[in-house]
Amino acid sequence: MIDNRSVGRCLSEMRKYFRITQDELAARLNVSRQAVSKWETGASVPDIEQLLSLSELFGVSMNDILRGDVSAIRQRREIVLPRESRRDRQITVIGAGRWGCFIAWYLDRIGHHVTLVGRAGSKRFEALRSARSNEYVTLPESILLTDDETTACQAEIIILAIPSQELHSLADRLKDMGVTDKIIVLCMKGIEVATGRRLSQVITDALDHSNKAAVWVGPGHVEEFVRGVPNCMVIDSSSELTKQEVIRAFSSDLIRFYYGQDLIGSEIGAAAKNVIGIAAGILDGLDLASLKGALMSRGTSEIARLIVAMGGEAASAYGLCHLGDYEATLFSPHSHNRAFGEAVTRGQSYHALAEGYATVKALRNLGKSHGVELPICEAVYQVVCEGASPAATIDQLFTRSLKNEF
């Protein structure tokens, strides 16, 4: 005799354990949200095919579900997705810069069907399309290169790898295209200066809610990846199923992905590390590289305070999205933000503004609105945005009132 209420409680607990909404579960099983609600209240039970799907999704037996036994699920740390969801996906990458080209190359390498979208009329993109290579990577013929965003956005997964301050206009274009039921992965780091919104907020505010957003953050340089040097990165999302699906599809022997657990912290931490990178460049420009240890410690503490004030977890600042990305940003010759900070300090020209230039303005505003003191970010802002003397600004940091370390 099946106890409908026990089955319902079991399904509800399993769904909540993995932080899956009723809408997400309904979409996965191709049923209505009302059907899921009826199962959880005990008004009805899933049929055999639905039970099989639930069993596969949650990694437990049908008997466990029918008995209302959730103990088995607590032995699992992730949902097992169907094998076909892991590889051989139709993926579009928008943004044919350094990271966009690498992402296209990487996802093609692990077995996906990839389209790379560049800017119409761009001489750099036309050169890439002709040569199928840039200074970082050579793109195989299996990758389609196009400037047709509308056609390319028919893919299942859309990855955005563009400058963060251009996201708003791209989101509006995607909305006008009627993009629905997509996984949109933001492989970019920043905060919208005009509004202070995180990038996932920019995209979800613009698009239909059938789309699910994720962020791809963490350390790594294209120059190292293409030489086969592995690294660890993070995928985070407000949707547990989306997170699971992206990690299953993107993981390989070259990049080990971890499941992010704090979307606010992941995004703010990733964006802020670019500002700390500029600070490291300022120290290099002043021949004060020995202070980078202090910068790492105090910078992480500073960003952790802001993350907490915004509703995130302090631990995120000490994870791969921020502290874990310091080596690639504070010390590497490949770091654009570090090189930008050094060039500004030495009075040299730099070929482009670093991403951290816009981010420090946004962080400064967020610090003020949340009542959080950000002395390192303020120092970077004064040097790169207001033209303050780098040496005098560092001196001012050292003459601040004395306080406890923690």
Q: Is 273 a catalytic residue?
A: yes
Q: Quick count: other Cβ atoms within 10 Å of Cβ 293?
A: 10
Q: Rounded to an integer, what distance in angstroms lies between the CA atom of residue 9 and that of residue 7?
A: 6
The one catalytic residue among 182, 243, 273, 361: 273
CB 8 within 8 A of CB 65: no
Residue type, 396: Q
* Rounded Cα–Cα distance for residues 236 and 248 (Å): 13
Sheet holding 90-94, edge to edge: 144-146, 113-117, 90-94, 157-160, 183-186, 212-217, 231-236, 255-259
Residue whose tokens read 């980078």? 292
How is 149-215 classified by DSSP, letter by letter? HHHHTTSSEEEE-S-GGGHHHHHHHHHHTT--S-EEEE----B-TTT--BHHHHHHHHS-TTSEEEE
- Alpha helical stretches, state H, 236-262: 240-250
Residue 43 DSSP class:
S
- Catalytic positions: 273
